[in-house]
Structures are given as structure tokens and as C-alpha cells.
A = this chain, B = another copy of it.
């Protein structure tokens, strides 16, 4: 047997994800929670149409990726899942925290369509990926093997409140297209605030696509204060 402590495996990305999330704050905490969050995985040119033949027969795909932005931050054995209000600690292997011994992520995304060109592009929805995420693998979702509706989900079964979202009259959302409105509303309904800042009377700014979205929360409602284009600055 090899000495596992000395072994190291090298993986190179097969492509990159393009998503509406230029920064971590505001990204849904699991895949599928924000259906309006579209991602495009652009495969490297070496992976031609053959490599995805038959993938369009599947509704969902597993995306295995690198938590590249937190890669250098290391991990703790214990983490505080946001779902538990940030007060209770769970072991890193009992959570989907990005701060892991191997900073690998796993997301289940809905495959909307495949575009064939010089680079194959997979159009996906329900994304929880940072823009620029390096992709390590794509695998089909196997419902007869991987669907376990009666499985115990531990602390993740705790009731998660979804917030109401209100646009303040002065928030100037007139110029936004329908997809962006849906993306903003679904993202905010998931309550992006850090658990320790709940209950504080504070404004937050979340970046969605090319917009800064300013909002604040009062009880179970998010009020959108303004949406400004980041490219206008």
C-alpha cells in the first residue's frame, strides 16, 4: 500500500463556469435553490462534441469544481453552517462548506441545453458557482441510483425561512429584464446575510451580473433599495 499521506493527485480544469456571481456574497448556499441563476460551462477546446454525446438525454448533471477563491484559506475541522444560525458547530465532512481539506465542490445543476461550437458550452440553471470557477468534471445524474427522497438529511432538514422580497419605489428597477429581476428576487429570498448579522439594521450590497443590489432586511422582508449598473461607475 502506498503511503497515502505522501501521495498527491494533480487535476487540470476541463473548463470554466461563467455565472452571474462575481463575488461570494449572495450566492445560493446550495445548487437548485435559485433556479434563475444561469451558468455556462465553457469546455476547453480539446473536449469536442463527442465528449458530451448523449449528455442531453439527462435532466441534471453533476458539476465537480474547485472552490478556487477560498482554496488558500485552508479548513477547520469544525464549521458553523449558516442554516443553523451560525451558532452550532458541525464537522467539516458533515457540511458542504467550501473550506475543506480538499477544496472540491459538488453541485447538481439542471442541464438546459448544449451549444456546439469551437468550445462546447453547457447551459445550466440553479447555479451556486462563482464566476470563473474551474470545472474538474461533468457527470450525468443517475436518478435510479442517486435519488433517495426518504434519506435522512440531518441538520439540513431544519426549517429554512424564505424571505419576502419588496422593491422600494425608488429602487429604479424599470430597466431590468425579467431574468435579472427573477435572479435578484430569488437570490435575496434565500437570505444572503451572514448568520451573525441577522437582526441588525444594516444595508448590504450584493453583486448580481453587472449590478450592485443594495438591500436591507426588516424581520422577514428584504427591501431592495437600489440596483445600479457596475459598468456605469
Enumerate chain A interface residues (CB-CB to B < 8 A). 1-2, 4-5, 7-16, 30-33, 44, 47-55, 57-60, 62, 64, 66, 71, 77-78, 89-96, 100-102, 104, 106, 108, 132, 134, 136-157
Contacts and interface: CB of A to CB of B under 8 A. Distances in A.
Contact of A93 (B30, B57, B60, B139): B139
Contacts of A66: 9
A102 B51 CA distance: 13
Those 6 A-B pairs whose CB atoms lie nearest each other, nearest first = A57-B154, A53-B91, A54-B90, A54-B94, A55-B94, A50-B77
Given A16-B1, A134-B7, A147 B140 contact: no
A151 to B, nearest CB: 4
A20 B47 CA distance: 35
A10 B12 contact: no
B59 A148 contact: yes
A137 B102 contact: yes
A148 B141 contact: yes
How many copies of this chain does one complex carry?
Answer: 2
Contact of A140 (B64, B134, B154): B154
A63 to B, nearest CB: 11
Given A11-B104, A53-B94, A106-B106, A142 B134 contact: no
A57 to B, nearest CB: 3
Contact of A151 (B95, B134, B147): B147
10 contacts: A8-B10, A9-B13, A9-B136, A32-B145, A33-B145, A51-B77, A54-B91, A93-B137, A140-B156, A143-B152
